[in-house]
């Protein structure tokens, strides 16, 4: 187990095909990531390097109700959306994304001509509840306490939910 890793040694890999954007979303979303936390043995924080190609975003506009994120821009320029505001970002900018409602929803956009690379750090508390204000979705994600690999998730819209007593009669 290493305790130190140089960012230059982090191998960036394309998203797994099960998580790659498809259809019209593929025009807007793409990223390569390099996992760090598992290499360092981290337990309560997640770390990765994310590289976003020109004209793309890594993730939809979203807010976390449980986990907090921080980003450090390493290379390139772009734009940060938080709530109703947009701010230009550049190398060595530090971005804080605390948990909260849609007013704290965030998205990093590469609106430049070159790759945008950043270090992402987050808490990894489970379960997590995430909202996606642009599309009206929500997600609930969790992992088994006795496993690092087994996860469960549900993505939907509130109006599609079941009545609490559905199927209990």
The SS3 assignment for 94 reads: strand
34: closest CA among 18, 53, 52, 11? 11
pLDDT, tens digit (0-9, with 9 covering 90-100), for 13-47: 998 887 899 999 999 999 999 999 989 999 999 99
pLDDT, tens digit (0-9, with 9 covering 90-100), for 154-164: 999 988 888 88
Ordered structural domains, the chain, with CATH: 7-131 (2.60.120.10)
Query: What is the Cα–Cα distance from 167 to 50, expressed in whole angstroms?
Result: 43
Res 148 pLDDT > 70: no
The residues, ordered by sequence, that sit 6+ positions from 130 with a Cβ below 8 Å of its Cβ are: 62, 63, 64, 65, 138, 139, 140, 141
């Amino acid at each position: 187990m290493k305790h130190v890793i140089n960012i230059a040694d982090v191998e960036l890999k394309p998203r797994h095909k099960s998580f790659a954007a498809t259809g019209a979303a593929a025009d807007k979303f793409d990223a390569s990531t390099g996992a760090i936390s598992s290499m360092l043995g981290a337990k309560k924080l997640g770390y990765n390097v994310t590289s976003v190609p020109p004209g793309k975003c890594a993730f939809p506009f979203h807010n976390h109700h449980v986990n907090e994120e921080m980003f450090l821009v390493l290379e390139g320029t772009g734009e940060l959306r938080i709530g109703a505001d947009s701010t230009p970002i550049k190398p060595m900018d530090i971005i804080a994304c605390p948990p909260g409602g849609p007013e704290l929803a965030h998205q990093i956009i590469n609106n430049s001509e070159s790759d945008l690379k950043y270090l992402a750090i987050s808490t990894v508390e489970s379960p997590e509840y995430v909202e996606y204000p642009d599309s009206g979705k929500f997600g609930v994600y969790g992992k088994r306490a006795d496993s690092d690999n087994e996860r469960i998730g549900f993505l939907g819209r509130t109006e599609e939910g079941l009545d609490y007593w559905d199927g209990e009669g």
